[in-house]
Structure 1
Amino acid sequence: MRSQWLEGTIRHRRLSPINHQFQYGTGMLALNLNEWNSVTGLSPLFSLERFNWLGLKRADYLNPADGSLRDAVSDYVREATGWVPDGPIELITHPRYFGYVFNPVSFYFCYEAGDDPLQGAVPRVILAQITNTPWKERHVYCLQPKGGLANGSGWRTERFTFKKQFHVSPFNGMDQTYQWVFSFRGDELRIHMNVLEQYQKQFDSTLVVQRTPLTRTVLHRSLRRFPIEAIKVTAGIYWNALRLKLKGAPFYTHPDKLER
């Protein structure tokens, strides 16, 4: 099996106008989409399209939801870039826990034929599927790495700067710029996101994880360590939103409500 389990930490920091930060441990799937229909065979506690301790549901990901996810990703990439993915496609995501899921962001790493994500290969295209809270709307950013060489420490780093196009948080306005940094080295992955407003950093988020082969033992161990991962993420977002509100952070209305 080529799918992996990712384990590490996520840190969020708000730097302006209110200083605030929190960090928590996390576990995620790096699912090879060719194994979408077979990965749940690892454990009777892991199911596809039905309730279980752990699960995957096609409707949680890229449309159209009535076809294969690999085909949907390939079609999106082809329309956006002109390239048809011919190698592995990995979905980096939180699975459903007890039927519940919330993924602030899921990534699709699209590799060229012959590239091995387990050896630190850099994707040719990265799709970032953003889901906002509490509206559960989605938006996809398409990023194209340049394939730079590794630095002296062995890290291969890709940097992207682009304008924000989608309302994510009531504590962030729309006139912002994103700086995203993806770093790959062997079985290690780092994703760092800066949010800038008028050239000043307002917020950043850092995911640091390490890959391990996805086996029944690893899956069951993760269930003991992260039994309610999705609920924890959502509760953390709302709890820290309350703390920000109490600290006096400015509140931004959803743009659609402003238009009405």
Structure 2
Amino acid sequence: MPAGFAAAPTTAAPALYDCVVSHARTQPVRYSFRHRTYMWLVDLDALPGLPRPLRPLARFESRDHFDGTRPTLRAGLDAYLASQGVTPSDGKVLMLAHARVLGYVFNPLTLFWCFDRSGALRCVVAEVHNTYGQRHCYLLRTDGAARAETAKAFYVSPFFPVDGRYLMRLPVPGDRLDITVQLAREGGRPFTATLRGAHRPATPCALLRAAVRRPWSTAAVWAGIRRHGVRLYLRGLPVHPRPTHSPQEGIAP
């Protein structure tokens, strides 16, 4: 395997990860929180087939990603890669995301690990959604330690302007999920987010248990972001105006 490339994981997909999401701010005030949720790891060419009564608890729809107009998630990813001058992946593509639950979905971060036919990792696509209904994708090349770096180009939190760089660690999920995203700005790293979890086979029983423990989980993520935003605002953090967003080719506005 060439240096700097990861092999496709042997962990079976689809899988569920019981996750802890942590956010920590150090500037201009210290503030942190943890939130429990669950996420799916799926193969875009073999999306999970669930019994009919469970389908409202987990749907994966192409309208929720990229430009939202393609017939499949794989087609949406391929169109985005082509718009970036990248030949679409000819191997497995793994997606880590929230599923649509009871008709609603919100994915702050969706990750796509794109492999070639030999099983080598070609690239990672990080799709970011903000709470204003906008999307943006980052095309990433990871090194041998699964690290990637890219300029911030999308308005996410109203308490940070669109500047700085993201430093990411994006190992392919296996028995454990361990993702880190840091915002680096002049003078330090004021924000760190981590996503950690344990692999569970995506059986109907496992999905039911997850749904009972975390009902309407994806809506809870959106509500949690809003709730913590209000707390930060009440602590006096200045709000940076949201700039005009120019949609990327292959991405919904």
Query: What band does the TM-score fall into relative to the shorter chain?
Result: 0.7 to 0.9
CA distance in 1, matches of 2:25, 2:161: 14
CA distance in 1, matches of 2:152, 2:173: 28
Q: Which residue of 2 aligns with 1:97?
A: 101
Q: Deviations over 1:126-180 (max 9, x none)?
A: 11111111x110100000123x2xxxxxxxx311222111111111111222111
CA contact (8 A) 2:23 2:191 kept: yes
Q: CA deviation at 1:2?
A: 3.2
Task: Write the letter of the residue equivalent to 1:137.
Answer: Q
Q: Deviations over 1:40-81 (max 9, x none)?
A: x3232333xxxx233232210122523221122123224435
CA distance in 2, matches of 1:101, 1:110: 23
Percent pairwise identity: 28
Task: Write the letter of the residue equivalent to 1:123.
Answer: L
Task: Write the letter of the residue equivalent to 2:241.
Answer: T
Cα distance change of structure 1 residues 124 and 199 upon mapping to structure 2, 3 Å threshold: farther
TM-score normalized by the length of structure 2: 0.85
Q: Which residue of 2 aligns with 1:59?
A: 63
CA contact (8 A) 1:129 1:139 kept: yes
Q: CA deviation at 1:185?
A: 6.8
Q: Which among 3, 6, 19 is matched to residue 17 of structure 2?
A: 6
Structure number with greater CO (CA < 8 Å, separation at least 6) is 2
* Displacement over 6 Å in runs of 4+: none
CA contact (8 A) 1:106 1:130 kept: yes
Q: Is structure 2 residue 110 aligned with structure 1 residue 106?
A: yes
Q: Which residue of 2 aligns with 1:152?
A: none
RMSD: 2.0
Q: Which among 83, 88, 95 is matched to residue 84 of structure 1?
A: 88
Q: CA deviation at 1:114?
A: 4.3
Report SS of the residue matched to 1:55.
coil
Note the residue ranges of structure 2 that are not aligned, 5 or more in a row. 1-11, 246-253
Report SS of the residue matched to 1:183.
coil
Q: Is structure 2 residue 171 aligned with structure 1 residue 174?
A: no
Count of residues in correspondence between the two structures: 234
Give the stretch that moved more between structures: 217-226 or 1-10: 1-10
Q: Deviations over 1:215-244 (max 9, x none)?
A: 112111111112121121111111111110
CA contact (8 A) 1:45 1:54 kept: no
Q: Which among 181, 191, 206 is matched to residue 179 of structure 2?
A: 191
Report SS of the residue matched to 2:161.
coil
CA distance in 2, matches of 1:186, 1:99: 29
1:1-260 paired onto structure 2 within 5 Å: 2-36=13-47, 39=48, 41-47=49-55, 52-63=56-67, 65-80=69-84, 82-115=86-119, 123-133=121-131, 135-146=132-143, 148=144, 157-184=145-172, 186-256=174-244
Q: Which residue of 1 aligns with 2:6?
A: none
CA distance in 2, matches of 1:124, 1:93: 20
Cα distance change of structure 1 residues 46 and 58 upon mapping to structure 2, 3 Å threshold: farther
CA contact (8 A) 2:54 2:204 kept: no
Report SS of the residue matched to 1:201.
strand
Name whichever structure is richer in helix by fraction.
Answer: 1
Note the residue ranges of structure 1 that are not aligned, 5 or more in a row. 116-121, 149-156
